[in-house]
C-alpha cells in the first residue's frame, strides 16, 4: 500500500466520525490557540517597548554629574570630539532651565503657568534634535552659529505650539521665557500627541545662553545626551567617560552617572522572553492533555476496527502498513487541530495583545506614543506551534498504532 492510499484511508476514517474527531481535536485547538495568544501578546509588549525607546533616540546614552569643574566637563567634550569621535553620531548638553521666579512662558497676553503645568526647558546644541530623535515639522533646528552668537532663539514642542498658536504658524513669533524675549525658529514633532505635562511641552535654547539666563555654580550639575554609532559602541563609550569623569565628580564631593536606555531595553526584552516561555509552558499543558485525548480515541478506534485490521493483514498488509495508517490518522487529527488553533490564536492575540498594549501605554505615560500596530504571532511561532502539534499526534499515536499492528489476523477476524 502506498502513502497516498494510507493518507486517503486516514482522512476517510476522520470524515466518517466528524463529531468524534472534532472533539478529539479540541484539546489541540485550545492548546495551540492558548500558546500563540499568550506568547504573541507578551512579545508584542517587548516590541512596543523597543519602538518607544527608538522614538526617544536610538543607542542613546544619558550622562549626569555633579561636583566636577567646568574645565573637567570641557575635557569630556574633547574626549567625545576626538578619541570617541568614530563611536558616536553626536552629543549635546541637556541642562535644564529652572524657572525659579515662576514667570513661565508667555506669548502676548497668554501665559503657561509653571506651577500648574510642567514645561521642560532645555539648553542644547546643534545636535540635540538628532541625538534625541526629535524631528522638525516647521522652521529649522538650532545651529552651531546660534550657539556661538548666543542668539535668543528657541525650538518649541508640539504642546507649546498648540497651546499658544493653534492653527497659526509660530515661526518668527516672539515668546517670553523667564521674562526674556526669544524668537521661535522651529517646532518639534509631537511624541505624545501634543498633550500637556509631557515631553511635548518643551522648549530648547542654545546651551551658550545658560549662564545669561540663570546663575550657575562652578560645580553645578551637568547633563548630556550622547548617541552611539551602534549598540556595540555603547559599553566602550560608557567605560571611557565614566573612568574620566567619575573620579573628578567624586573629588568635588559630588556624583556621576552614565547609563544607556539600551540596557533597560535589554532587561525589558529579556523579562518579556522569560514571561513568554513561562506562559507558553503553562499553555502547553493543555496541548499534552489534547495529545492524551488523541491517544485515547485512537485506542477506541483500534478496538472498533479490529476486524478491518484482520482483513487487511489477511490479504497481505504488513505491520508497517498498519502502523503508518494509524500514525497518519493521529497526525492528521492533530494537524487539523493545530491549523484551527493557529487561526483562533491569531484572532486571540490580536484582541488580547491590543488590550495589553493599551494597558501598557496607560501605565507608561512618560514613554512616547508610537504608531499602533496589530498584534500577530510571528511566522516562527506559527510554524513551531504547527510542527509541535503534528509531533504530538505522532508521539501519542505510536502506542495505539503499535497495538493495532501486533494484532493476530486470525484473532482479529473472529471479532464481531
Residues 213 and 281 in one domain: no
Residues 112 and 69 in one domain: yes
Could you give the number of structural domains in the chain? Answer: 2
Pick from 104-118, 167-181, 226-240, 316-330: least confident: 316-330
Domain boundary among 263, 295, 323: 263
Residues 91 and 157 in one domain: yes
For the chain, give the longest Cα–Cα distance.
106
Residues 283 and 404 in one domain: yes
> Which of 105-119, 268-282, 355-369 is predicted most confidently?
105-119
Residues 163 and 147 in one domain: yes
pLDDT exceeds cutoff 60 at 1: no
Domain boundary among 214, 243, 263: 263
Cβ neighbours of 387 (radius 10 Å):
12
Upper half-sphere CA count for residue 300 (Cβ side, 13 Å): 11
Q: Return d(Cα 224, Cα 204) in angstroms, integer.
A: 14
Residues 100 and 244 in one domain: yes
Instruction: Specify the 3-state DSSP secondary structure of 111.
Output: strand
Q: Which grid coordinates belong to 256?
A: 556621576
Pick from 221-235, 312-326, 387-401: least confident: 312-326
pLDDT given at position 194: 84
Residues 33 and 163 in one domain: no
Residues 392 and 308 in one domain: yes
pLDDT given at position 117: 80
Q: Return d(Cα 86, Cα 81) in angstroms, integer.
A: 9
**Is 218 or 367 the better-scoring residue by pLDDT?**
367
Average pLDDT over residues 60-73: 90
pLDDT exceeds cutoff 90 at 303: no
φ, ψ for residue 214 (rounded to 5)? -155, 155
Output the CA torsion sign for 406, 409, 415, 416. Answer: positive
- Long-range interactions of 20-23: CB distance < 8 A, separation 24+: 20/297, 21/297, 21/333, 21/336
Average pLDDT over residues 363-370: 72
pLDDT given at position 158: 94
Residues 94 and 222 in one domain: yes
pLDDT exceeds cutoff 90 at 142: yes
Residues 72 and 219 in one domain: yes
**Is 407 or 238 the better-scoring residue by pLDDT?**
238
Average pLDDT over residues 135-156: 95
Average pLDDT over residues 362-382: 78
Residue 138 pLDDT level (bands cut at 50, 70, 90): very high
**Cβ neighbours of residue 259 under 8 Å, at least 6 residues apart?**
61, 62, 238
Domain boundary among 263, 297, 313: 263
Residue 391 sits in which domain range? 3-54+266-414
pLDDT given at position 3: 66
pLDDT given at position 125: 95
- pTM exceeding 0.75: no
Residues 128 and 259 in one domain: yes
- Where are the strands (E) in 49-164, listed by range? 60-66, 88-93, 95-96, 105-107, 110-112, 120-124, 136-139, 153-156
pLDDT exceeds cutoff 60 at 220: yes
Q: Do the beta carbons of residue 401 and residue 300 sit within 8 Å?
A: no
Residue 191 vs residues 223, 235, 327: alpha-carbon distances, Å: 22, 28, 56
Give the chain's mean pLDDT. Answer: 84
Residues 239 and 272 in one domain: no
178-195 as b/e: b if 16+ CB within 10 A = beeebebbbbbebbbebb
**Among candidates 32, 28, 160, which has minimal Cα distance to 106?**
160
Amino acid at each position: 500500500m502506498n502513502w497516498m492510499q494510507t493518507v486517503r484511508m486516514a482522512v476517510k476514517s476522520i470524515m466518517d466520525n466528524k463529531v468524534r474527531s472534532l472533539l478529539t481535536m479540541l484539546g489541540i485547538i485550545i492548546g495551540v490557540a492558548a500558546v500563540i495568544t499568550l506568547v504573541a501578546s507578551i512579545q508584542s509588549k517587548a516590541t512596543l517597548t523597543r519602538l518607544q525607546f527608538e522614538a526617544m533616540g536610538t543607542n542613546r546614552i544619558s550622562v549626569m554629574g555633579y561636583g566636577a569643574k567646568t574645565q573637567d566637563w570641557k575635557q569630556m567634550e574633547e574626549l567625545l570630539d576626538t578619541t570617541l569621535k568614530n563611536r558616536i553620531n553626536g552629543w549635546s548638553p541637556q541642562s535644564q532651565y529652572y524657572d525659579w521666579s515662576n514667570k513661565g512662558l508667555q506669548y502676548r497676553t497668554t501665559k503657561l503657568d509653571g506651577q500648574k503645568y510642567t514645561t521642560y526647558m532645555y539648553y542644547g546644541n546643534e545636535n540635540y534634535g538628532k541625538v534625541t530623535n526629535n524631528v522638525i515639522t516647521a522652521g529649522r533646528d538650532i545651529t552651531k552659529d546660534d550657539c556661538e552668537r548666543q542668539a535668543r532663539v528657541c525650538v518649541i514642542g508640539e504642546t507649546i505650539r498648540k497651546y499658544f498658536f493653534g492653527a497659526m504658524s509660530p515661526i518668527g513669533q516672539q515668546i517670553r521665557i523667564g521674562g526674556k524675549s526669544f524668537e521661535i525658529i522651529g517646532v518639534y514633532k509631537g511624541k505624545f500627541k501634543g498633550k500637556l505635562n509631557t515631553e511635548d511641552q518643551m522648549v530648547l535654547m542654545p546651551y551658550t545662553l545658560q549662564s545669561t539666563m540663570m546663575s550657575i555654580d562652578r560645580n553645578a550639575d551637568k547633563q548630556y545626551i550622547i548617541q552611539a554609532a551602534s549598540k556595540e559602541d555603547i559599553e566602550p563609550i560608557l567605560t571611557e567617560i565614566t573612568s574620566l569623569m567619575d573620579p573628578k565628580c567624586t573629588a568635588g564631593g559630588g556624583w556621576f552617572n552614565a547609563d544607556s536606555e539600551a540596557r533597560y531595553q535589554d532587561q525589558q526584552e529579556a523579562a518579556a522572553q522569560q514571561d513568554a516561555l513561562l506562559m507558553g509552558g503553562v499553555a502547553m499543558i493543555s496541548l499534552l492533555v489534547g495529545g492524551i485525548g488523541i491517544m485515547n480515541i485512537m485506542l477506541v478506534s483500534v478496538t472498533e476496527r479490529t476486524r478491518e485490521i484482520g482483513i487487511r493483514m489477511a490479504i497481505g498488509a504488513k505491520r508497517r502498513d498498519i502502523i503508518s495508517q494509524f500514525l497518519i490518522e493521529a497526525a492528521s487529527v492533530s494537524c487539523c487541530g493545530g491549523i484551527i488553533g493557529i487561526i483562533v490564536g491569531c484572532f486571540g492575540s490580536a484582541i488580547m495583545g491590543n488590550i495589553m498594549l493599551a494597558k501598557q501605554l496607560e501605565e507608561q505615560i512618560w514613554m512616547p506614543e508610537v504608531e499602533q500596530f496589530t498584534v500577530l504571532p510571528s511566522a516562527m511561532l506559527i510554524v513551531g506551534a504547527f510542527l509541535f502539534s503534528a509531533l504530538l499526534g505522532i508521539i501519542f499515536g505510536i502506542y495505539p498504532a503499535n497495538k493495532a499492528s501486533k494484532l493476530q489476523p486470525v484473532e482479529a477476524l473472529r471479532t464481531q
